Amino acid sequence: MGPPGVTGPPSPAALAFVLQGAAALYLVALLATLLRPAWARAPLALGAALHVGWSLWRGLLIGFLPLTNKTESFAGAALAVALVGVIAFRPARAYLLPLLAVLGAAMAVALSFPQGLHWPPPLMRTAWYPAHVPLSFLAYGAWTAAAAAGVAWFTDREAGWLSLIDRLGLWGFALWSLSMICGGVWGVVAWGAWFLWDPKVVWSVILWFHASTFVHLRLTPSLAARPWVRPALALLGFLLVLVAYVGTSFFFGRSSHAFG
């Protein structure tokens, strides 16, 4: 394993304000959702734009994709949720509130960690890493939105949510498949194996199997009369994402994905 990326270039004070600005705009989106959900899209999009700017600035300062520490990781996950929220926007409280709650929680965690910059460790320096992680986060975002749509379906039982759940599930599956390909190739060049008995990798496989199962639900005749199954499994999918993303880093001990 390479040495951990524990230090980096100085972090300009304004950099932290940019992320806080994005968080403030997300908060405005949350308040707008409470007042009139259709108003939430603009502050959500502006927050995401500012958030992208923050990522680009950090990336320029370290000369690499800014996904080298926990701040950047949680901020990256939050950005993915925000982007999916903007693209798959639906002006409904039951959908937006859980989505923005997850976004807010990820932002709060990102802001709670030290904001310093880290150089990436040598093992991250491959084209496969900058492809693998953003694709993963976008898949997380799609599945989070699918779970939010699941909450909305359990709230009002409208068929439109099922269609959104299916499409988000399929997008998550496609993005996750591409992410697994990039991660697998990275595993080969970095560790010599495309699969490792490592909690993060095993849970990545779990997510892939859950997602691939999920995309078959709509086509399963015996489930046609049970529309609750897809929203329920979308919610389960979100729980699996939480374990894969957060749980494996904190509760499963050593991991090849721990870079210091």
Partner 1 sequence: MPSADAPAASGRALVQAAGPGRWEWLRSQGLGVCCGLATVLLLAIGSVVMAATRDGASAGIGLDDLTGFFLRPSLAHLWFYALIPVAALYALNALLATWETVTSRWRAGLRQPRAYAAAVMHLAFLVALLAHLAGGFLAREGGAWVVSEGWQPLPAFGEARLVSLQVEALPNGMPREVHAAVELRGADGRVEAVEVGYNRPLSAGWGNRLALLSEFGQVQVARLASGDEGCALAQEQGCLLGGERIELLAFAEQGGAGDRQALVRRTGAGGRPEVRWLRAGEMLALRNGRPLLLVETAVAPAVLLRVRETPGNPIALMAAALLAIGVGMMWRHLSRGL
- Tell me the backbone φ, ψ of residue 160, rounded to 5 degrees: -60, -30
Q: Can residue 170 be called a binding residue for partner 1 (CB under 8 A)?
A: yes
| DSSP calls for 75-123 | HHHHHHHHHHHHHT----HHHHHHHHHHHHHHHHHHHHS-----PPPGG
Q: Can residue 87 be called a binding residue for partner 1 (CB under 8 A)?
A: yes
Placement of tokens 């004070």 in the chain: 13
Mark the segment that binds partner 1 (CB under 8 A) among 37-45, 74-82, 109-117, 204-212: 204-212
- Chosen residue from 61, 184, 246, 257 binding partner 1 by CB under 8 A: 184
Q: Can residue 177 be called a binding residue for partner 1 (CB under 8 A)?
A: yes
How far apart CA 131 and CA 126 sit, in angstroms, is: 9
Q: How far is CA 222 from the centre of its chain?
A: 32
Q: Which of residues 12-51 bind partner 1 (CB under 8 A)?
A: none
Q: Can residue 160 be called a binding residue for partner 1 (CB under 8 A)?
A: no
- Chosen residue from 32, 79, 151, 240 binding partner 1 by CB under 8 A: 240
CA proximity to 78, closest of 100, 46, 53, 94:
100
How far apart CA 215 and CA 228 sit, in angstroms, is: 15
- List residues binding partner 1 (CB under 8 A): 2-3, 5, 7-9, 87-88, 119, 121-123, 125-126, 128, 164, 167-168, 170-171, 174, 177-178, 180-181, 184-186, 188-197, 199, 202-203, 205-206, 209-210, 212-213, 216-217, 219-223, 240, 243, 248, 252-254
